[in-house]
Chain A
Amino acid sequence: MRLIRALFPHPTLSLLLTAVWVAMANTFTINSLVLGAMLGVAIPIFTRAYWPDRPRLRSPLRVAEYAAVVLWDIVMANIAVARLVLFRRNADLRPAWIAVPLDLRHPEAITALAGTITMTPGTVSCDVSSEGRALLVHCLHAPDPDAVRDEIKQRYERRLMEIFE
């Protein structure tokens, strides 16, 4: 058992690396699978020092749900922001800085949240507070900044809490 843990310190990363390598080859052959598996074993062993206490992913189903929600939001928010850019004069835009207090503690989870905020158009995460307990977010058009903050916490952070901790 300890030998298995020593060989595969991060099984999810091993699987992911193998899958990415096979996808890069773009055809499924035994050759690419074997080479991908070798990378999938070697890279986690060499990089294990860089993720000292990584959080556990609770359930893959929740990750899939989160990805679906984020993809849907990206499409919707793209349309909304495109309309803002095309049909609204700059003088009518209400850009705002928002401080979002965080309940997430794992650096990996906060990174995921910051990336999500940036990828959903209309909001860009710009900075983190000195102890990592708040995110600084810039909104392109937010007449009601508190509503944006609550939506980020409700929609994304709550789901990430369920995934990571």
Chain B
Amino acid sequence: MSQAAEILIAASLAVGGVFGLVGSYGLIKLPNLVMRLHAPTKATTLGVGGVLIASMLHSWFALGRFSVHELLITMFLFLTAPVTAHFIAKAHIHRRLSARDLPAPQVDRGWATLERPEDGSPDGDPGEKAEGAQPGGGN
């Protein structure tokens, strides 16, 4: 393996490590849950990305074969990381926040996580009850 390849691999590892460290530091430093949620999305993108690039370069230069496992790991991470972040955020909204803490969506009735059946969704119970009560009231 040439000197240049070694330097390149070491540099990618260092970049990955630095961003992983910054992501973890952000997890400690930032003050609340939604802000801390930003830290792991960084660690999984450039942090893991740097290590994966180093791994690809290593198998190319040192082992002499092209490895695509790293591309698969990137793809799976990109598919799964937003889902976990989304679930954590939804759980937080569900348990700790109300509609007053969030901006109004403007176009619809409200945010999906905060919506309850009794809040007047068109196919919910209250509408049916109101319609059922009307003829009774007329009589």
For residue A17, give the distance in angstroms from its CB to the closest CB of chain B: 12
Interface residues of A, CB < 8 Å — how many?
A: 39
Is there a chain B Cβ closer than 8 Å to A75's Cβ? yes
Is there a chain A Cβ closer than 8 Å to B71's Cβ? yes
Pick the interface stretch among A5-13, A40-48, A89-97, A153-161. A89-97
Residues of B bordering A, CB below 8 Å: 18-19, 22, 25-26, 29-31, 34-35, 37-39, 41-42, 45-46, 65, 67-69, 71-72, 75, 78-79, 81-82, 85-86, 89-90, 92-93, 101-115, 121
**A119 interface neighbour in B65, B82, B109, Cβ under 8 Å:** B82
Q: Is the CB of B102 within 8 A of A81?
A: no
**A129 interface neighbour in B18, B25, B35, B105, Cβ under 8 Å:** B105
For A111, the closest partner residue in chain B by CB is: B82
CA distance A90 to B29 in the complex (A): 8
A sample of 8 inter-chain contacts (CB < 8 A) reads: A23-B69, A82-B19, A101-B107, A119-B78, A127-B93, A131-B109, A134-B108, A140-B30
Q: Provide the A108-143 mask, 1 if CB < 8 A to any CB of B, else 0.
A: 000000110011011011111111111010101000
For residue B106, give the distance in angstroms from its CB to the closest CB of chain A: 6
CA distance A82 to B109 in the complex (A): 36
Residues of A bordering B, CB below 8 Å: 20, 23-24, 26-27, 74-75, 78, 81-82, 85-86, 90, 93, 95, 97-99, 101, 114-115, 118-119, 121-122, 124-134, 136, 138, 140
Contacting residues, chain A, for B115 (C-beta < 8 A) = 130
Contacting residues, chain A, for B101 (C-beta < 8 A) = 97
For residue B120, give the distance in angstroms from its CB to the closest CB of chain A: 11
Instruction: Check A82/B22 contact, CB under 8 A, given A115-B82, A124-B41.
Output: yes
For residue B126, give the distance in angstroms from its CB to the closest CB of chain A: 15
Q: Is the CB of B82 within 8 A of A95?
A: no
Q: Is the CB of A20 within 8 A of B72?
A: yes
Q: Is the CB of A97 within 8 A of B103?
A: yes
CA distance A125 to B81 in the complex (A): 12
Contacting residues, chain B, for A74 (C-beta < 8 A) = 45-46
CA distance A126 to B86 in the complex (A): 5
For residue B71, give the distance in angstroms from its CB to the closest CB of chain A: 7
Q: Is the CB of B25 within 8 A of A126?
A: no
For B109, the closest partner residue in chain A by CB is: A130
Contacting residues, chain B, for A81 (C-beta < 8 A) = 26, 38, 42
Q: Is the CB of A98 within 8 A of B103?
A: yes
Q: Is the CB of A118 within 8 A of B82?
A: yes
Contacting residues, chain A, for B38 (C-beta < 8 A) = 81, 121-122, 124, 138, 140
